[in-house]
Structure formats: C-alpha cells, structure tokens
Amino acid sequence: MDCKIMSYNAKQAQLDGKPLTMTDRLIMLRSNLTHSEFRFSNRYGGISFSFTMADGANGARFKAIKYSHPKRWEKDVIPLTDEQEDMIFKEACRLVDVPVDFLALANVKFCQGANHAKYDLIGLLIHATKKSKKWWLNGLRFSLWCWTLPIKPSDTASWCSEGCAYLVGMVHKIGVSPDSLDPQELHELLQRMFCKGQVWTNANDQKAS
C-alpha cells in the first residue's frame, strides 16, 4: 500500500478560519507550505512521522493525525512495496527512539523516546538567504540574513521536510540533498517525480550498476 507525504497549507487553513501562527508567518517568507509529515499506510495504522517543535516534541516523533481538514493538506502519494515501507518504518523508529513493535500498544496517539533525534532549529536558517526569482527580495534577504551564511545543517538533527525527504530517499532517488529542501520544495519535487511518472529507485540503480 502507498504511503503519503502530507504538506500543511497554512494559507488555506487561514481561509478556513484558522489564524496564522508566528511560526507559519516566518516559514511562509520562504515556503508556501509550512510543515511536512510522512504518513505510513494502513499497515501501520496510518501513523504519521515528522520532525517538529509542536507538542513539545523538539524532534522526531510519531503522532496519530486524522487530517480532518483535507483542504489544508497537500498530498503526495509515495509508491512503496511492503518491504520498502517496513525498512522506512524501522528507520523512523530509530529516529524516534521507540521499538518497532510500539504500535502494538493500545490507542497510540503520540510516541517519542528519550533519545529521539532532535529538531535542527539552527540549521533551518540555511533557507533564509535562498535565492528567489525576484531580485529585490534576494537583496532584502541578504541584507537581513547574511549573518546566517556560515551556518551548516546538523549531521544528527533535522527539520520536517528534511526528515521526510530522507525517508523517501531511502527507496526513491530524489536527486538532491534532503537538507536542501523546505516543505514547498519537497512537495514540488514529489509532484515532478510521481505525478509525471519520473520514478527512479535506489534499488533500480543498484541493479543497473
């Protein structure tokens, strides 16, 4: 069964009556979408994985999300075999620091171990000076955020779109470094890969080599 990347559209949520948070406003300076979740198939109860600061998580966590407002979420289907999904789920469990059989517990709503991988709040600043198609915006960003240029992403911590891209990249060749993507860029990349039939897998690469 297919898994999905769910990308939160804060602007659409605002039109539905949900006010923008300060975090939404800051992220939307760079990305129209403000958050990414990796949603596993019904084989794993549709549980969602992400790196987030919400709910006090400060890093990798599993959460049961109903997605009860579908208009607020962009959905990208990720084709996986059962074996591929099992491999990705095992890695997600390692990042969250929980045993792979944790879903056997009744009514799992939120799950995170003490040694979970942390959220890379500092590394996220690499997106502050990314180039735009608007020359004046590039100048403004550079003048405001040039002090972030020496910052590099962490090797052990991640943000939401980076973590989701990493899991997808375990099976499908995404062609870019996961830490180069914000939620909008991840969504657009997956649209190009899977909505236009351009599906390449690391497994296929290995067979061809």
Q: What is the pTM assigned to this prediction?
A: 0.82
The pLDDT, as a whole number, for residue 205 is 43
**pLDDT tens across the length of the chain (209 residues):** 689 999 999 889 888 888 887 777 767 767 889 999 999 999 999 999 999 989 999 999 999 999 999 999 999 999 999 999 999 999 999 999 999 999 987 678 999 999 999 998 655 555 444 555 654 545 555 455 454 455 566 577 888 999 999 999 999 999 999 988 999 999 999 999 997 544 444 444 433 33
The pLDDT, as a whole number, for residue 155 is 73
The pLDDT, as a whole number, for residue 164 is 98
| N residues, the chain | 209
The pLDDT, as a whole number, for residue 25 is 74
The pLDDT, as a whole number, for residue 104 is 81
The pLDDT, as a whole number, for residue 117 is 97
The number of C-alpha atoms within 13 Å of 1 and in the hemisphere containing its C-beta is: 10
- What DSSP line would sit under 26-78, residue for residue? HHTTT-S--EEEEE--GGGTT-EEEEESGGG--EEEEE------GGGEEEEEE
